[in-house]
């Protein structure tokens, strides 16, 4: 399995261990990834063993201290939703066929941001993130990395969409993401470009930076898996890495990310949200943490405001 393929498989197994998927459903989804029953059972057992050393919300100690109090939440709405703008579908010619996305133009843009989705594809939640960014002053384009397979909407079963993403080579993702950056430059020709990604998409932010991405001025990977032997020597972006204290599987890579960013001489800050778990920013998911999401959202806006100005 490639790094991203392995990450997706481990995510499914961890969801089962955490009680978010039945064993039968986890085995079904792993089967869609091409993982045999024996290998799936071994993976689930390994993830269950890892959970025994996992911190709890009461005892967790983040590997990087939060330097300010978390932002307060407003009512029950997710951060940025009150001012979110509607997105519109957009297509453009990509390196291997037509690419699809959803975009929203900020009224008075302070920069432009490419949004990279989780392993379920371009969902309504991802579109909402693009709309929230536009409402906050950043023209945003959410790319659909399943475009060459008919788009996310072609998959009635989200697990099938995840399996399709797992079968795509990382090199193709990088080519498509660079095409998305190019399309965003056409949509916002006078603006600097940033990129943000979540979970699987956070890992693709790291992949994009590893490939160079000279047109990207700022990057915010949310709890994304770090590539093996990460090398960001050709990147130019200022990087804000966001992690969760309870997310051992991804947060354990934070020291390696710090070292790789330092070697590359990139401006960077890595923060760990206390008492938050993997995917804490997704308000449609079971691990949503409103306090951590509000803090991470404000930090993201501040970062883009600083480095896309």
Contact assessment for residue 227 and residue 256, using Cβ atoms and an 8 Å cutoff? no
Going by C-alpha positions, the residue among 33, 32, 14, 16 that lies closest to residue 24 is 16
What pLDDT, on a 0 to 100 scale, did the predictor assign at position 3?
85
Give me the residue label for tokens 């806006």. Answer: 301
Contact assessment for residue 265 and residue 235, using Cβ atoms and an 8 Å cutoff? no
Task: Report CA dihedral (218, 222, 225, 231) to the nearest 10 degrees.
Answer: 10
Reduce the DSSP state of residue 225 to 3 states and report it: coil
Q: How far is CA 6 from CA 40, 150, 165, 250, 266, in A?
A: 11, 24, 12, 13, 28
What pLDDT, on a 0 to 100 scale, did the predictor assign at position 55?
56
Cα angle, residue 163 at apex, residues 162 and 165 outer, rounded to 5°: 65
Q: Which two tokens stand for residue 63?
A: 């590997």
- Annotate 15-71 with DSSP letters as a single string: HHHTTSS-HHHHHHHHHHTT--HHHHHHHHHHHHHHHTT---TTT---SS--SSPPP
Residues linked to residue 241 through DSSP beta bridges, in sequence order: 270
Half-sphere exposure of 61 (CA within 13 A, CB side): 1
Task: Determine phi and psi for 49, rounding to 5 degrees.
Answer: -65, -40
Reduce the DSSP state of residue 206 to 3 states and report it: helix
What pLDDT, on a 0 to 100 scale, did the predictor assign at position 70?
36
Contact assessment for residue 89 and residue 102, using Cβ atoms and an 8 Å cutoff? yes
Tens of each residue's pLDDT in the chain, 309 residues: 678 899 999 999 999 999 999 999 999 999 999 999 999 999 999 999 887 655 544 333 333 333 333 333 345 899 999 999 999 999 999 999 999 999 999 999 999 999 999 999 999 999 999 999 999 999 999 999 999 999 999 999 999 999 999 999 999 999 999 999 999 999 999 999 999 999 999 999 999 999 999 999 999 999 999 999 999 999 999 999 999 999 999 999 999 999 999 999 999 999 999 999 999 999 999 999 999 999 999 999 999 999 999
Residues linked to residue 88 through DSSP beta bridges, in sequence order: 103
Contact assessment for residue 232 and residue 209, using Cβ atoms and an 8 Å cutoff? yes
What pLDDT, on a 0 to 100 scale, did the predictor assign at position 68?
33
Contact assessment for residue 214 and residue 185, using Cβ atoms and an 8 Å cutoff? no
What pLDDT, on a 0 to 100 scale, did the predictor assign at position 1?
64
273 Cβ contact partners less than 8 Å away, ≥ 6 residues apart: 62, 66, 70, 242, 243, 244, 245, 280, 289, 292, 295, 296
What pLDDT, on a 0 to 100 scale, did the predictor assign at position 49?
85
Cα angle, residue 67 at apex, residues 63 and 71 outer, rounded to 5°: 110
């Amino acid at each position: 399995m490639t790094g991203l393929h392995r990450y997706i498989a481990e995510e499914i197994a961890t969801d089962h261990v955490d009680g978010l998927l039945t064993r039968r459903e986890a085995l079904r989804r792993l089967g869609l990834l091409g993982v045999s029953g024996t290998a799936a059972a071994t993976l689930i057992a390994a993830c269950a063993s890892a959970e025994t050393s996992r911190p709890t919300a009461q005892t967790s100690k983040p590997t990087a201290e939060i330097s300010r109090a978390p932002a307060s939440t407003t009512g029950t709405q997710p951060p940025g939703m009150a001012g979110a703008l509607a997105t519109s579908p957009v297509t453009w010619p990509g390196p291997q066929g037509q690419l699809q996305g959803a975009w929203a133009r900020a009224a008075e843009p302070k920069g432009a941001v490419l949004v990279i989705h989780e392993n379920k594809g371009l969902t309504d939640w991802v579109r909402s993130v693009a709309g929230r960014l536009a409402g906050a002053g950043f023209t945003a384009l959410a790319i659909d990395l399943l475009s060459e397979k008919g788009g996310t909407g072609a998959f009635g079963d989200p697990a099938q969409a995840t399996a399709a993403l797992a079968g795509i080579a990382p090199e193709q993702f990088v080519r498509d993401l660079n095409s998305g950056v190019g399309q965003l430059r056409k949509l916002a020709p006078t603006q600097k470009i940033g990129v943000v990604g979540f979970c699987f998409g956070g890992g693709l932010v790291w992949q994009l930076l590893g490939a160079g991405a000279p047109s990207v001025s700022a990057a915010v990977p949310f709890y994304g898996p770090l590539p093996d032997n990460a090398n960001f020597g050709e990147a130019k972006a200022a990087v804000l890495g966001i992690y969760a204290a309870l997310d051992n599987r991804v947060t354990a890579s934070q020291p390696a990310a710090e070292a790789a960013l330092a070697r590359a001489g990139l401006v960077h800050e890595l923060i760990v949200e206390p008492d938050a778990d993997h995917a804490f920013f997704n308000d449609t998911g079971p691990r949503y943490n409103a306090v951590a999401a509000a803090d991470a959202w404000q930090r993201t806006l501040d970062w883009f405001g600083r480095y896309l100005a």
